[in-house]
């Protein structure tokens, strides 16, 4: 049986229809703007249908059911998670999105830094004392799982790209890193990047490049 940790939260009466004007709520602590139908496929072969989203603050796959949020407690028991047409796999107790399948798949990692009111952090910085305290309080109080973070909290998303090679995660966020992973294709990488003006901050650009290398 899959093991879940349930976290009960309080919601206002318009929880199920929370909107900003005619626009859907932006869940800044999640990958997707809303919880979407998905499938959890276990290594045991069992499948579970849930409304899923990935929490970039807690690095957990979370599902929503009647105002309750639950995180998969044992990521290692999961084989694959599908949300719409997107695919996630567990590694090192976190989930990575698979952008390119193959012998050496391209993966995207979603993370975030968090600051509490009055705490200043820069984009991509390591977690400082204030952010660490903020993170712990969010987890302890269950605030990281709701549709809206407590007032004053700031979430700065961060995306990193990796190639899974021989069971190890190799960083693939720039031309030099890809050259180390594919040493026999350095010239091909260089020519492709120059010809296509590859932007390594865009998942679409990296996906096209790695597909070319595969």
* Same-domain pairing of 62 and 15: yes
Q: What does the H/E/C string look like for the chain?
A: CCCEEEEECCCCCCHHHCEECCEECCCCCECCCCCEEEEEEECCCCEEEEEEEEECCCCEEEEEECCEEEEECCHHHEEEEEECCEEEEEECCEEEEEEECCCCCEEEEEEEEEECCCCCCCCCCCCCHHHHHHHHHHHHHCHHHCCCCCCCCEEEEEEEEEEEECCEEEECCCHHHHHHHCHHHHHHHHHHHHHHCCCCCCHHHHHHHHHHHC
pLDDT at position 47: 94
* Same-domain pairing of 102 and 199: no
pLDDT at position 171: 97
pLDDT at position 1: 39
* Same-domain pairing of 163 and 62: yes
Q: Tell me which residue range forms the domain holding 165.
A: 4-171
pLDDT at position 147: 73
* Same-domain pairing of 25 and 61: yes
pLDDT at position 26: 63
The residue ranges of the chain whose pLDDT is under 70 are: 1-26, 117-143
* Same-domain pairing of 202 and 126: no
* Same-domain pairing of 186 and 113: no
How many structural domains comprise the chain? 2
* Same-domain pairing of 184 and 164: no
* Same-domain pairing of 123 and 188: no
* Same-domain pairing of 191 and 86: no
Report the predicted TM-score, pTM, of the whole model to 2 decimal places: 0.79
């Amino acid at each position: 049986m899959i093991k879940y940790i349930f976290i009960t939260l309080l919601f206002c009466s318009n929880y199920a229809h929370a909107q900003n004007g005619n626009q859907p709520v932006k869940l800044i602590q999640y990958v997707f703007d809303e919880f979407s139908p998905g499938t959890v496929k276990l290594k045991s072969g069992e499948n579970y249908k849930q409304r899923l989203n990935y929490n970039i603050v807690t690095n957990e796959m979370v599902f929503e059911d009647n105002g309750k949020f639950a995180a998969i407690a044992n990521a290692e028991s999961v084989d694959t998670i599908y949300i719409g047409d997107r695919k996630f796999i567990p590694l090192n107790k976190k989930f990575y999105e698979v952008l390119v399948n193959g012998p050496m798949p391209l993966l995207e990692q979603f993370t975030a830094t968090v600051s509490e009111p009055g705490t200043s952090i820069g984009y991509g910085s390591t977690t400082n004392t204030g952010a660490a305290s903020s993170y712990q309080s969010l987890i302890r109080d269950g605030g990281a799982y709701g549709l809206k973070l407590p007032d004053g909290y700031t979430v700065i998303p961060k995306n990193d790209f990796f190639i899974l090679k021989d069971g190890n995660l190799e960083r693939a966020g720039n031309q030099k890193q890809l050259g180390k992973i594919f040493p026999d294709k350095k010239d091909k990488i260089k020519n492709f990047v120059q010809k296509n003006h590859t932007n390594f901050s865009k998942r679409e650009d990296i996906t096209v490049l790695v597909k070319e290398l595969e």
